[in-house]
């Protein structure tokens, strides 16, 4: 692939460009450009990728990209505050547009009206307020919509009368915004193929047991760093394919026995940094494929004997930084590689605590109230010469 890199002090115009009609890719990264005039690239008929990142572009004339039909446009890391109406209209086969790290405050509803081939839009790290353009959600072929680290306060409500067709959105990133509760199921109408939903660091206070009923193909759900206090029974029961669930850094205090019902494909559950004081018996019974469980930095005082009974595939367990007075029974977790129980109030360790843990690689039980360990405490490691033991 041929590349051309030119340096311009202020603006790009068709009078400054050397025409290369067969050029497939053009890089103008970090060249000091601050504006692009009409028809600047009109002679680049076969351009597929245009790199304009890491410049000072604050102005685009409406026909700046006229003549570029099949284009992936990279405009990230510039100084754009707004996009002219119709700026993307000439790009009839636009598949990817990157606008991250600009100063955009809103996206007009008609800004991408003609781009039916659009697959990816990156709007991360801007200043977009209110809600995202309905035209973005309505792109049937859009697969990746990344809008993290903005000031978005609400979803667009995708009611059936306006959005009756299915869309192929796979990854929706709205992390680090200002989205508030309630999260209505109507927000997700048509997004039946959504696999990754990232809502980390918003202002969500509650979810109900039907919030996620429509997006049943979800694989990753990140609700970390919000203000959620309770999980209703069956809150995630429709998410039969869910693999990763992040609920860390919330205000959870108690969890009902059905909080994680039906999640029998879940592999990662993160409950760190909440205020959980009690785990209801049977709460993890459906998590038969769970590999990693983080319960650190909560307010647990006790963990019942059978709480981890069904977690036979568990590889990593972290119960550190709680107030736990005695070890839970983990002797049946024969696949466990990493066990963290440091910074608790544990006074004694049963000599057979680690029975059958031949695969254990790391155990940390430091910063507890242990007075002594039996001479055979670590004897169950067998021939595992790689085990790191932390005890104080």
392, 369 contact by CB (below 8 A) = no
How many Cβ atoms sit within 10 Å of the Cβ of residue 28?
24
Two tokens at 309? 């009974």
CA distances from 239 to 143, 210, 244, 263, 313 (A): 20, 11, 11, 7, 20
User: Within the chain, where are the H helices?
Assistant: 134-137
229, 249 contact by CB (below 8 A) = no
> Residue 25: enclosing H or E segment and its boundaries?
strand 25-27
> Residue 134: enclosing H or E segment and its boundaries?
helix 134-137
CA–CA separation, 76 and 29 (whole Å)? 10
CA–CA separation, 119 and 141 (whole Å)? 6
| Sole residue written with tokens 């041929």 | 2
Q: Which residues of 320-358 are buried (b: 16+ CB within 10 A; e: fewer)?
A: bbbebbbbbbbbbbeebbbbbbbbbebebbeeebbeebe
Mean pLDDT by 10 residues, the chain (392 residues): 42 55 86 91 85 94 85 92 89 89 89 76 95 77 94 71 69 95 84 95 93 95 97 93 98 91 97 96 95 98 92 97 93 93 92 81 92 73 52 52
111, 138 contact by CB (below 8 A) = no
CA–CA separation, 299 and 15 (whole Å)? 67
Determine if residue 190 is left, alpha or beta; phi over 0 gives left, psi from -120 to 50 gives alpha, anything else beta: left
What is the structure's pLDDT at 379?
A: 67
DSSP conformation class of 214: S
Burial of 22 (0-12, 13-18, 19+ CB in 10 A): exposed
43, 68 contact by CB (below 8 A) = no
CA–CA separation, 199 and 215 (whole Å)? 14
What is the structure's pLDDT at 181?
A: 84
What is the structure's pLDDT at 108?
A: 82
Query: How far is C-alpha 67 from the geometric centre of its chain's CA atoms?
Result: 36
What is the structure's pLDDT at 17?
A: 54
Q: Judging by DSSP bridges, how do beta strands 35-36 and 59-60 pair with one another?
A: parallel
CA–CA separation, 61 and 49 (whole Å)? 19
Q: Give CA angle at 252 (240, 182), nearest 5°.
A: 70
What is the structure's pLDDT at 381?
A: 58
Two tokens at 15? 């009078």
Positions of E strands within 58-128: 59-60, 72-74, 96-98, 120-122
């Amino acid at each position: 692939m041929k590349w051309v890199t030119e340096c311009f002090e202020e603006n790009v115009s068709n009078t400054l460009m050397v025409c290369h009609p067969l050029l497939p890719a053009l890089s103008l990264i970090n060249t000091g450009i601050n504006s692009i005039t009409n028809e600047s690239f009109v002679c680049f008929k076969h351009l597929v990728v245009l790199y304009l990142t890491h410049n000072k572009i604050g102005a685009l004339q409406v026909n700046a990209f006229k003549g570029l039909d099949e284009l992936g446009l990279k405009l990230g890391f510039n100084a754009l505050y707004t996009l002219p109406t119709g700026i993307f209209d000439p790009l009839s086969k636009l598949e990817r547009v990157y606008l991250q790290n600009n100063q955009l405050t809103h996206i007009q509803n008609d800004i991408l009206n003609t781009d039916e081939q659009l697959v990816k839009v990156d709007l991360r790290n801007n200043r977009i307020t209110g809600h995202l353009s309905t035209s973005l959600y309505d792109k049937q072929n859009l697969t990746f919509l990344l809008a993290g680290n903005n000031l978005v306060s609400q979803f667009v409500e995708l009611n059936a009368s306006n959005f009756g067709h299915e869309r192929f959105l796979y990854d929706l990133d709205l992390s680090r915004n200002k989205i508030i509760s309630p999260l209505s199921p109507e927000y997700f109408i048509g997004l039946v193929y959504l696999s990754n939903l990232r809502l980390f660091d918003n202002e969500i206070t509650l979810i109900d047991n039907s919030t996620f009923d429509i997006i049943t193909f979800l694989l990753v759900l990140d609700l970390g760093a919000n203000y959620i206090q309770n999980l209703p029974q069956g809150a995630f029961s429709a998410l039969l394919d869910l693999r990763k669930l992040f609920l860390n850094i919330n205000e959870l205090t108690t969890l009902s026995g059905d909080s994680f019902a039906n999640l029998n494909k879940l592999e990662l559950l993160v409950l760190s940094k909440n205020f959980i004081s009690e785990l209801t018996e049977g709460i993890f019974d459906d998590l038969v494929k769970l590999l990693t469980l983080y319960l650190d930095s909560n307010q647990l005082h006790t963990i019942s004997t059978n709480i981890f009974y069904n977690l036979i595939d568990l590889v990593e367990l972290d119960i550190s930084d709680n107030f736990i007075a005695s070890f839970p029974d983990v002797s049946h977790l024969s696949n466990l590689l990493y066990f963290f129980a440091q910074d608790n109030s544990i006074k004694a360790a049963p000599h057979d605590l680690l029975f059958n843990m031949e695969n254990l690689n790391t155990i940390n039980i430091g910063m507890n109230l242990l007075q002594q360990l039996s001479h055979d405490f670590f004897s169950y490691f067998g021939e595992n010469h790689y085990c790191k033991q932390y005890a104080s």
